Structure 1
Amino acid sequence: MNVSFSELDFLKPELGAGYTGQGTHFAVFSAHAEKIELCLFSEDGSKETARLPLPKREGDIWSGYIEGLGPGTVYGYRAYGPYDPHNGHRFNPNKLLLDPYAKQVAGEILWDDALFGYTIGRPDGDLSFDERDSAPFMVKGVIQDPAFDWDGEEAIRRPWTETIIYETHVRGMTMTHPAVPDELRGTLLGMASDPIIDHLVKLGISAIELLPIQYFVDDRYLVERNLRNYWGYQTLGFFAPQSRYLKNGGITEFKTMVKRFHAAGIEVLMDVVYNHTAEGSERGPTLSFRGLDNLSYYRQSPEKPRHTYDTTGTGNTLNVAHPMVLRMVLDSLRYWVGVMHIDGFRFDLASTLGREYMEFDREGGFFDAIRQDPVLAGVKLIAEPWDIGEGGYQLGGFPPPFREWNDQFRDDVRRFWKRDGGMVPTLTERLVGSPVQFNHSDRAATSSINLVSAHDGFTLMDTVSYNEKHNEANGEDNRDGHPENHSDNMGAEGATDSADINSARTRRRCALFATLMVSQGVPMILGGDELGNSQTGNNNAYCQDNEIGWLDWGSASDAFLDFCRKMIAFRKEHPALRQERFLSGEPDESGRAEIAWYKPDGSRMDDNAWSNGELRLIGAHICRIAPTGAMPESEMFLVLNAGEECEVALPTGTGPWQCVLNTAQDDAFLARPARDREMIAAQSVVAFIPQGPGDG
């Protein structure tokens, strides 16, 4: 291939490979490199056809422009500089490097020792220098044409109070659905197919949250065990969709998916991993960032720069405190919003992103940069509020406009329904949006992302079917995964033919799901919970790209699916359940409080009741006291009974009441007039609203 860089003084501010219509401009960051070569390849990536040193350097940006070079061109980089691991430098031009800004990734990583910058097996380990060419085993970038017809597509920007999140996986959602065409299963186009969208619309979902779909790597140790990185938390390309999710290899398929979801009124959120990369520790491979500028891209141990500093449990931590690494993260986020039309992000191990040097700082550079950014400040931002480093658990510590995954909601709700003692006070905190954690700094009552299950941990069905985790298929002797699941098998470990046990499990699942839907905050449903999906007790299915990790559409329970649909609709019908501000227990001028707690005898909770560790029932009188001209007032009396059947006196001064929800009944939503005293069944959620004119 006879190509060369233009001699014109052509400098674009964007990094990456940018197609201009007449040619392509290349730009890459490295503060410590001495030379960077652009490598061009044949269409199939098998043959290197040219090596061209990037001719320009301004500051730490290396760049060049090739006229006539266009979309479809396959490329990578080689970086020259010091190989000095003791001081954090690991340049090795024998290793082909993926452009950090590549918009599409071609090929697959073929694990070989040549992918490592040092020689595996040498006594001096990562201090050695490997001279083998890694290009035959390495993925490459592909130049893209950004053109796409977005005609008629608009961002939804739904308020948090109206948001119902559905966390799911592209392959898991589509691989066994009988109505998804075979050729689309496991792909983005399959995710956006009519059967999947119809299911989500009928369920009442307003936003899907997709497990990582940025380009990620299958770890070598998994490949050697014939497993895959199913979840995708090993990102290598922050701008490119995962190749295996593309049917024909083009990124327009991603845009098509987003456009179809938006047309159905569903927002698309991405689970993103900016806390670490797939390159692992200093003993990991040299695939991109390590070879371009290890000292800049990764945090190094303060005492020994040879070693990466790890707060993520993966071997490395991305150095977001560095301005150019922070720029890469922000450029990536803006790309997915501006070019791909994504509606928001869930940040994996987000505490790491808030670390200034080593400690978490809610006023740090990452948060400041996002909050002032006119593109990013307006999309949905969700933090996983922890990492494994010292001081990493930061639930409630993130600044607005971030929302946060609330694992305490999950644990406390599970414990309440499995009848642990002394759980009523903590349950009431969860029902009103966890104000101890979030009611500060003018944060909204929607700051808590409530969940009773997520991809990491037991499914809802497994929560009521297993006492112990069963991760044997992962090949780690069942040592992986959380040991504390707050689960209860109800009398048998796993699937059973016992009608009594299955009935009890269904009742508890209904109670758990209903609790999620009647709580203040933003509910998040794990994909498949509405179907009764089980992972046979595996609570860490990160490597199970098979029937364990996929949704089992064939065994779906129509009755429970119908309950979930109606329960979501119930939440939407009652504004008292989804308020923007935290509820106050102080009465207003009319003497009405937004929240009041009741004992079974109809009296208010007192100190003795709050300290009663044997209490398994709580009544909550919730009001939405509307300002003039706003949504009409909404009022509800909720009873959550984890114990035995109990008679409950309904509050006086309001009424008469009608019962509009009883999760212990076959028809949970059959409305009827209520009596002054009602029998509340064991393991049930019951709701009453004032009886209007003509009711009953």
Structure 2
Amino acid sequence: MTTTAPSFAPGATLSGEGVEFSVYSHDASRVELCLFDNDGNTELARLTMGRDENGFHRVFVEGAAEGARYGFRADGVYSPDHGLWFDPAKLLIDPYAKALDRPFVHDGRLALFGTDTAAIAPKAIVTRDVPVSVKPPLFRPGGFVYEIAVRSFTMLHPDVPEAMRGTVAALAHPAVLAHLKRLGVDAVELMPITAWIDERHLPPLGLSNSWGYNPIALMALDPRLVPGGMTELAETVAALRAENIGVVLDLVFNHSGESDRHGATLSMRGLDNLTYYRHVDGRPGELINDTGCGNTIAGEHPVVRQLVLDSLRHFVRHAGVDGFRFDLATILGREADGFSAHAALLSEICADPLLKDRVLIAEPWDIGPGGYQLGNFPAPFLEWNDRYRDDNRTFWRGDSHRLGAFVTAFAGSSDIFSRHGGENTRTVNFLAAHDGFTLMDLVSHTVKHNEANGEDNRDGHNENRSWNNGVEGATTDGAVLSARRADVKALLSSLFLSRGTVMLTAGDEGGRSQQGNNNAYCQDNAITWMHWDRLDDGLIEHAATLSAIRKRFPALGETTFLSGAGDVEWLTLAGSPMTVADWEAPFAGSLLVLLKTPDLQQQRIVHLALAINRTHGDQALALPPPEGREWTSLLSANHPATGLLHPRSVEIFVEKH
């Protein structure tokens, strides 16, 4: 064993002569490298690492090779009240680990001082980085994002081989690709596939985390979802790209699964708690909990910023992903004085040569002070728009005085995204996401039903702006089922016709239900698994048709704001311009939108008419004459341009050539 000069490359760096191991710890008195056999069960060597002037502890192991299993032990002061958690009995995961030999399993011993955890902690694996050809992202703002929980998406797919189900590789199966292509998906957004651990209250309830939003190693892929590691991810990305479908990774840089002070010591806490996590000023033993998950990663610290940037570069350089969605992204921009669009980490992401052209999507909120930052992220960040979600839900539910808010959201939310001089919307429009009701449950339940989560239905959002069409939950009443289906079709139509980027959660196109559970993160079972045999093919075809219409008429996917100067007219269903009285009528629920747009099928500029009726009765419809031409319906065969617009429906008309 020899010690080399500083390389400033954290993690395990493979060379022809061996492996250099490097890890940061400002306060540890000693850090040791532990090497294990190929089973990861027997410790072969324990080597003290030398500390350089930058706080990195390093050791070069001559002869070490790809596949070596390792972990760290850090010694020093153990004083949680002072933010110091050094316990040499804890085997610690390298924050730069790129592969693990097994998944994390929650065990109470992980939180007990002085209890050795080598037998129960995963071991990091030395890997050989294999760069891919980094190509420009396929996805562009204004496209169609399809959110997927990898495991639940294919666990019950009848055509996917059983051994492949629930893995990233299953996304490249021809049957899955066919579904994505039928829908016209532009990019899949994969919910977390990096290694995570169950929250400590779940195992006693017989439950487990099925979403992955509780990470430990920020670069290492979870062996349960990606058993083939980066090779599997890179091959899947390539297979999707071959079908013109991009890949966006949903990553969690806001907290870790080490949780609050009663949680496990697995990695960053045991290596350098005061560096990696944020603490209350003057009380280093008190973790800031801006995430609701027990801790908050210190995104303002240079060491943490480097870890985040290196993680993003890793997935671009070695898997070729199109971009990233950032969970609770306000934390990435929170510095000592609060959130700033010019925070160092956000600025570094936007300026990085490898990252600056990637798709960047922020969930623009957390529960900390000043945590709601919708519209305040820097370009080119796109932002999940919960205002769009809520304004659409309350409009279609039938609330009073909702037409104006609905139309503003429908047109790209200029009230939010033009505040800082922006000329383009950066909205990601969605009606339902992984967190909350499915789209079918939204129109089938007035309240949440989370009893299966073991928290007496206390968890999850209480206000969902939902409705049940007369019966709560499951029913055999044909009229109720028909009404729910009509509502889902109308909601899907609203989504795909809205300006900006659109996002649909997997299964919502086919009426998937979670039995009214709006916080199903802990249901790795039939509640969240997608029942392909139960999906409504008629609804799927409706979504596919809408997606094709969106692609055919570019005005629907534009991100520039509508000006009203020839590009759009807001009309009544009778074809006359909307008046102030029309807009402000308490229960105004119908509208005709006339858009001027290229038609890529006819290769000319046309008018597109979008007729919306949220009321429960037929409404008279009369489209204005389009320069002497006739109108044809794109959703309902032979629907006349003059006649009745059915209740709870949206129709789309285009000029005949």
Task: Kindly state the Cα deviation for residue 335 of structure 1 after the two structures are TM-superposed.
Answer: 0.6
1: CA distance, partners of 2:607 / 2:306: 48
What SS does structure 2 have at the residue aligned with 1:216? coil
Deviations 1:617-649 (A, max 9, x none): 1121222489xxxx8534312121101211133
| Residues 655, 515 of structure 1: alpha-carbon distance in 2 compared, 3 angstrom cutoff | farther
| Residues 328, 634 of structure 1: alpha-carbon distance in 2 compared, 3 angstrom cutoff | farther
1: CA distance, partners of 2:396 / 2:41: 58
**8 Å CA contact 1:156, 1:265 repeated in 2:** no
Matches within 5 A, 1:171-250: 171-247=151-227, 249-250=228-229
| Residues 110, 382 of structure 1: alpha-carbon distance in 2 compared, 3 angstrom cutoff | closer
2: CA distance, partners of 1:340 / 1:601: 53
| Residues 465, 196 of structure 1: alpha-carbon distance in 2 compared, 3 angstrom cutoff | same
Alignment correspondent of 1:359: 338
Tell me which of 639, 644, 654 is aligned to 1:679: 644
Alignment correspondent of 1:125: none
| Residues 205, 110 of structure 1: alpha-carbon distance in 2 compared, 3 angstrom cutoff | closer
| Residues 231, 358 of structure 1: alpha-carbon distance in 2 compared, 3 angstrom cutoff | farther
1:39 aligns with 2:39: no
Tell me which of 576, 580, 590 is aligned to 1:603: 576
Alignment correspondent of 1:98: 93
What SS does structure 1 have at the residue aligned with 2:177? helix
Alignment correspondent of 1:136: 119
| Residues 437, 246 of structure 1: alpha-carbon distance in 2 compared, 3 angstrom cutoff | same
Alignment correspondent of 1:165: 145
Task: Kindly state the Cα deviation for residue 446 of structure 1 after the two structures are TM-superposed.
Answer: 4.3
**8 Å CA contact 1:167, 1:208 repeated in 2:** yes
2: CA distance, partners of 1:251 / 1:375: 18
2: CA distance, partners of 1:112 / 1:547: 25
Which is further off, 650-659 or 679-688?
Answer: 650-659
Task: Kindly state the Cα deviation for residue 167 of structure 1 after the two structures are TM-superposed.
Answer: 0.2
2: CA distance, partners of 1:634 / 1:485: 38
Tell me which of 7, 13, 28 is aligned to 1:12: 7
Matches within 5 A, 1:373-522: 373-443=352-422, 445-522=424-501
**8 Å CA contact 1:208, 1:266 repeated in 2:** yes
**8 Å CA contact 1:165, 1:208 repeated in 2:** yes
Task: Kindly state the Cα deviation for residue 689 of structure 1 after the two structures are TM-superposed.
Answer: 2.2
2: CA distance, partners of 1:268 / 1:72: 28
Task: Kindly state the Cα deviation for residue 80 of structure 1 after the two structures are TM-superposed.
Answer: 1.8
Which is further off, 234-243 or 412-421?
Answer: 412-421
1:619 aligns with 2:592: yes
Task: Kindly state the Cα deviation for residue 554 of structure 1 after the two structures are TM-superposed.
Answer: 1.3
Task: Kindly state the Cα deviation for residue 87 of structure 1 after the two structures are TM-superposed.
Answer: 2.6
The count of residues paired between Structure 1 and Structure 2 equals: 653
**8 Å CA contact 1:584, 1:595 repeated in 2:** yes
Task: Kindly state the Cα deviation for residue 157 of structure 1 after the two structures are TM-superposed.
Answer: 3.0
Task: Kindly state the Cα deviation for residue 110 of structure 1 after the two structures are TM-superposed.
Answer: 4.5
**8 Å CA contact 1:574, 1:634 repeated in 2:** no
Aligned partner letter, 2:194: Q
Aligned partner letter, 1:649: A
1: CA distance, partners of 2:190 / 2:571: 40
2: CA distance, partners of 1:600 / 1:260: 46
1: CA distance, partners of 2:135 / 2:347: 27
Deviations 1:129-150 (A, max 9, x none): x2221211211101112237x5
| Percent of aligned positions that are identical | 40
1:650 aligns with 2:645: no
Aligned partner letter, 1:194: P
Deviations 1:456-490 (A, max 9, x none): 11111111111111111100111111111111111
Segments of 4+ in structure 1 off by > 6 A?
Answer: none
**8 Å CA contact 2:103, 2:222 repeated in 1:** no
| Residues 623, 282 of structure 1: alpha-carbon distance in 2 compared, 3 angstrom cutoff | same
1:594 aligns with 2:567: yes
Task: Kindly state the Cα deviation for residue 531 of structure 1 after the two structures are TM-superposed.
Answer: 1.9
2: CA distance, partners of 1:69 / 1:669: 66
Which is further off, 494-503 or 235-244?
Answer: 494-503
What SS does structure 2 have at the residue aligned with 1:160? coil
1:75 aligns with 2:70: yes
Task: Kindly state the Cα deviation for residue 372 of structure 1 after the two structures are TM-superposed.
Answer: 1.1
What SS does structure 2 have at the residue aligned with 1:238? coil
Task: Kindly state the Cα deviation for residue 166 of structure 1 after the two structures are TM-superposed.
Answer: 0.4
**8 Å CA contact 1:308, 1:317 repeated in 2:** yes
2: CA distance, partners of 1:132 / 1:468: 44
| Structure 1 unaligned residues grouped into runs of 5+ | 120-129, 588-592, 662-667
Aligned partner letter, 1:480: D
2: CA distance, partners of 1:456 / 1:318: 22
1: CA distance, partners of 2:108 / 2:448: 35
TM-score by length of structure 2 reads 0.96
Task: Kindly state the Cα deviation for residue 519 of structure 1 after the two structures are TM-superposed.
Answer: 0.5
Task: Kindly state the Cα deviation for residue 251 of structure 1 after the two structures are TM-superposed.
Answer: 3.2
2: CA distance, partners of 1:397 / 1:524: 20
Deviations 1:106-162 (A, max 9, x none): 23444444312xx4xxxxxxxxxx2221211211101112237x57x844433223x
**8 Å CA contact 2:105, 2:198 repeated in 1:** no
2: CA distance, partners of 1:460 / 1:179: 25
2: CA distance, partners of 1:166 / 1:191: 12
2: CA distance, partners of 1:529 / 1:218: 26
What SS does structure 2 have at the residue aligned with 1:244? coil
Tell me which of 292, 297, 314 is aligned to 2:293: 314
| Residues 204, 23 of structure 1: alpha-carbon distance in 2 compared, 3 angstrom cutoff | same
**8 Å CA contact 1:576, 1:634 repeated in 2:** no
Matches within 5 A, 1:275-354: 275-354=254-333
Task: Kindly state the Cα deviation for residue 13 of structure 1 after the two structures are TM-superposed.
Answer: 2.8
1: CA distance, partners of 2:105 / 2:577: 66
Tell me which of 607, 613, 618 is aligned to 1:641: 613
1: CA distance, partners of 2:190 / 2:470: 34
Tell me which of 228, 242, 248 is aligned to 1:263: 242
| Residues 138, 619 of structure 1: alpha-carbon distance in 2 compared, 3 angstrom cutoff | same
TM-score by length of structure 1 reads 0.91
Task: Kindly state the Cα deviation for residue 43 of structure 1 after the two structures are TM-superposed.
Answer: 1.4
Task: Kindly state the Cα deviation for residue 600 of structure 1 after the two structures are TM-superposed.
Answer: 3.2
Aligned partner letter, 2:29: E
Alignment correspondent of 1:665: none
**8 Å CA contact 1:301, 1:309 repeated in 2:** yes
What SS does structure 2 have at the residue aligned with 1:369? helix
Task: Kindly state the Cα deviation for residue 27 of structure 1 after the two structures are TM-superposed.
Answer: 1.1
2: CA distance, partners of 1:691 / 1:251: 50
**8 Å CA contact 2:626, 2:655 repeated in 1:** no
Which is further off, 317-326 or 483-492?
Answer: 483-492
Deviations 1:160-207 (A, max 9, x none): 23x211001111111000000011111121222221111101211110
What SS does structure 2 have at the residue aligned with 1:516? helix
1: CA distance, partners of 2:127 / 2:351: 29
Tell me which of 556, 567, 577 is aligned to 2:546: 567
Alignment correspondent of 1:553: 532
1: CA distance, partners of 2:66 / 2:337: 41
**8 Å CA contact 2:103, 2:195 repeated in 1:** no
Aligned partner letter, 1:381: L
**8 Å CA contact 2:553, 2:598 repeated in 1:** no
Aligned partner letter, 2:9: E
Task: Kindly state the Cα deviation for residue 212 of structure 1 after the two structures are TM-superposed.
Answer: 0.5
Task: Kindly state the Cα deviation for residue 507 of structure 1 after the two structures are TM-superposed.
Answer: 1.1
Aligned partner letter, 1:158: F
What SS does structure 1 have at the residue aligned with 2:280? coil
Task: Kindly state the Cα deviation for residue 274 of structure 1 after the two structures are TM-superposed.
Answer: 0.1
1: CA distance, partners of 2:473 / 2:80: 50
What SS does structure 1 have at the residue aligned with 2:146? strand
1: CA distance, partners of 2:608 / 2:44: 71
| Residues 609, 355 of structure 1: alpha-carbon distance in 2 compared, 3 angstrom cutoff | same
2: CA distance, partners of 1:219 / 1:481: 16
